[in-house]
Every structure is written in structure tokens, then in C-alpha cells.
Amino acid sequence: MATEEFTVKMLGRNRTFPAGTPIVIALNLGMFDENVWGKSTYEFDHNRDNLVKNHMMFQSVGNKHAGRMCPGKFFAMNMCSEILTECGKVRREMAKAL
């Protein structure tokens, strides 16, 4: 959440956003940090030093992964279960009222 008004150049124009604007920064943008990866940041190099240690993306399917599971996986699964449970309660209450 922005704590103060801020301005960014976007699509060639300066755009100002008020304090309280939600800000989401994609985690995978960390994969383009020259302080971590050096000048070859934008070049493909599967033998890059410290690649596994510093890799910030989480590609997985079910429980299959390449050594890094998304840290939000269980949070998302639990949240979806709670939402479905609550929706079911509301649906049953609405059906009783009819």
C-alpha cells in the first residue's frame, strides 16, 4: 500500500497515484536484478552461478516441482476451501428461504 502519493512514467506519460494505492510487484521481476545476476541478466544461461539458490520463480504442477514449491500454495488452497465452505452455507440458507 502506498504510504504517500507517487508518480511514475507509464506509457510515455507521468501518472500520479494517491496514498493508499495498492501496489503489487511481480516476484519474478527479481530475476532481472543486475545486482544478483550481473551484466548478463537478460541473457539465457542455464549454467549461471548460484542459479538454484537465487531462482525466484515457482513453477510446479500439483506436488511435482523442480525443487521449489510456491510458498503461497497452502495458503491459497486453505482460502479456497474456506470460501467454498462459506458459499455452501449461504446457498443452503438461500434454498431454505425459498
Residue ranges of the domains in the chain?
Answer: 1-57, 70-98
pLDDT at 63: 72
pLDDT at 89: 96
Q: If you ran DSSP here, which 8-state letter would residue 67 be given?
A: S
Alpha-helical runs (H) found in 1-98:
34-37, 51-54, 73-97
The larger pLDDT score, comparing residue 2 to residue 98, is at 2
The string of pLDDT tens digits covering residues 6-61 is 999 999 999 999 999 999 877 778 788 888 888 888 998 888 888 877 777 766 66
Cross-strand partners of 15: 8
Record the cell numbers describing residue 60, joined without a space.
Answer: 510446479
Cross-strand partners of 9: 14
Contacts of residue 3, defined as CB under 8 A and 6 or more positions apart, other chains included, come to 19
Contacts of residue 76, defined as CB under 8 A and 6 or more positions apart, other chains included, come to none
Judged against a pLDDT cut of 70, whether residue 84 lies above it is answered with yes
Position 23, amino acid: I
pLDDT at 12: 93
